């Protein structure tokens, strides 16, 4: 294990890391740390990519995706969940209190209510106003790093050396109603293998789904690559994949210049890797009371 507990998260997330570090510093479990950490942007109305205040889908509905994995390889996930402030905690309840890994939509919401979660309106006035503005053209195109891309993927290693991870998002702004991205899919938006480390991804989920991005990063580390080499190989496959060669990232609607994917990985030794398709992806590292935001290297 690293000399000290470590937590890393996608994008600029010092407050989320601080909440996770508080758990790690009192010798808490990495699982508790990542849950506490990602709950911060979930409840933050100014974060328009996660939970409360998230930008809605084309129909004006905020639908949430989240997943969590612990050091024993247990996993829980919710997709297409509406009106619940903390999808990550519902994902954890799926993992710990049901015989399943994933619950979706109305079923996920009914389960959440049965566990004492409350129904809340997550669409803020600001997000609703942005959606109404969008409706005027209703043009759907991915925008590289333009929308605040704050979907949070978080990985932590605790004092015992155990690894866990969490990922939570409101998904792509103005997605089709019912669309599910990479973030709640074990192996796509997040993967943790307690012998090796963990990885998480952000950006255009469709590209991460098609490459099982986080599983691939961890598996490459298992085969001997450093976290940095592993993240670079995941992005290389996305950039050079057959759908890239014919410009069909989004059924022909986008090219590599229109899309962003970032991958972040940490080994059990606490070594970090990060890489993205385009410049502009950053991540936040906290260890030993120090937090820094680091710009990732990129393919372009
Ligand atoms: C998704 N990967 O739903 C998410 C979006 C994202 O920062 O990462 N936004 O495809």
pLDDT at 244: 77
Q: How far apart are CA 204 and CA 233, in angstroms?
A: 17
| Of the candidates 242, 261, 119, the residue with the CA atom closest to the CA atom of residue 181 | 261
pLDDT at 144: 54
* Least confident segment among 78-87, 131-140, 236-245: 236-245
pLDDT at 48: 86
pLDDT at 153: 98
| Of the candidates 170, 183, 200, 175, the residue with the CA atom closest to the CA atom of residue 276 | 200
CA-153 nearest atom, ligand 1: 8
The predicted model gives 232-242 an average pLDDT of 92
Rg (CA), the chain: 18
Give the residue numbers annotated as catalytic, written as ranges: 151
pLDDT at 251: 65
Q: How far apart are CA 239 and CA 46, in angstroms?
A: 32
User: Quick one: 246 exposed, middle or buried, by C-beta within 10 A (0-12, 13-18, 19+)?
Assistant: exposed
What's the N-to-C CA distance of the chain in angstroms? 33
> Ligand 1 centroid to 183 CA: how many Å?
7
pLDDT tens for residues 173-220?
Answer: 999 999 999 999 999 999 999 999 999 999 999 999 999 999 999 999
Q: In terms of pTM, does the model score above 0.90? A: yes
CA-206 nearest atom, ligand 1: 10
181 lines ligand 1 (CB under 6 A): yes
Q: How far apart are CA 66 and CA 152, in angstroms?
A: 10
57 lines ligand 1 (CB under 6 A): no
User: Under a CB-based contact definition with an 8 Å cutoff, are residues 284 and 13 in contact?
Assistant: yes
User: Under a CB-based contact definition with an 8 Å cutoff, are residues 155 and 273 in contact?
Assistant: no
pLDDT at 259: 85
Binding residues for substrate: 179-182, 202-205
* Token representation of residue 18: 């601080």
pLDDT tens for residues 91-150?
Answer: 999 999 999 999 999 999 999 999 999 999 999 999 999 999 999 998 877 665 454 567
pLDDT at 149: 65
Q: How far apart are CA 169 and CA 51, in angstroms?
A: 6
CA distances from 119 to 45, 81, 250 (A): 16, 11, 34
CA distances from 259 to 42, 65, 127, 147 (A): 24, 20, 22, 12
Q: How far apart are CA 168 and CA 181, in angstroms?
A: 11
Reported ipTM: 0.98
278 lines ligand 1 (CB under 6 A): no
Please give the order of strands across the beta sheet that includes 290-295. Answer: 102-104, 75-81, 64-69, 163-169, 152-157, 6-10, 282-287, 290-295
> Ligand 1 centroid to 3 CA: how many Å?
32
């Amino acid at each position: 294990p690293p000399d000290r507990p470590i937590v890393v998260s996608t994008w600029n997330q010092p407050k989320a890391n601080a909440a996770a570090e508080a758990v790690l510093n009192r010798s808490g479990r990495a699982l508790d740390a990542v849950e506490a950490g990602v709950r911060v942007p979930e409840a933050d109305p100014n974060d328009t990519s996660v939970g409360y205040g998230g930008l809605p889908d084309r129909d004006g509905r905020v639908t949430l995706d989240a997943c969590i994995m612990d050091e024993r390889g247990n996993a829980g996930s919710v997709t297409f969940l509406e009106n619940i402030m903390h999808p990550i905690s519902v994902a954890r309840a799926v993992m710990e209190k049901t015989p399943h890994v994933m619950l979706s939509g109305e079923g996920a919401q009914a389960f959440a209510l049965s566990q004492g979660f409350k129904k809340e309106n997550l669409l803020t006035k600001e997000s609703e106003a942005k959606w109404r503005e969008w409706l005027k053209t209703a043009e759907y195109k991915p925008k590289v790093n333009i929308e605040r891309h704050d979907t949070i993927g978080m990985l932590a290693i605790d004092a015992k050396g155990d690894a866990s991870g969490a990922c939570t998002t409101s998904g792509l702004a103005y997605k089709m109603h019912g669309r599910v991205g990479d973030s709640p899919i074990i192996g796509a938006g997040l993967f943790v293998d307690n012998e090796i480390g963990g990885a998480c991804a952000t950006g255009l989920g469709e590209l991460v789904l098609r490459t099982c991005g986080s599983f691939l990063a961890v598996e490459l580390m298992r085969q001997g690559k450093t976290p940095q080499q592993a993240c670079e190989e995941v992005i290389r496959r996305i950039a050079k994949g057959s759908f890239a060669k014919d410009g069909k990232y989004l059924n022909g609607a986008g090219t590599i210049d229109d899309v962003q994917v970032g991958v972040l990985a940490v080994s059990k030794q606490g070594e970090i890797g990060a890489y993205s398709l385009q410049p502009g992806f950053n991540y936040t590292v906290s260890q030993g009371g120090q937090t820094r935001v680091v710009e990732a290297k990129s393919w372009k």
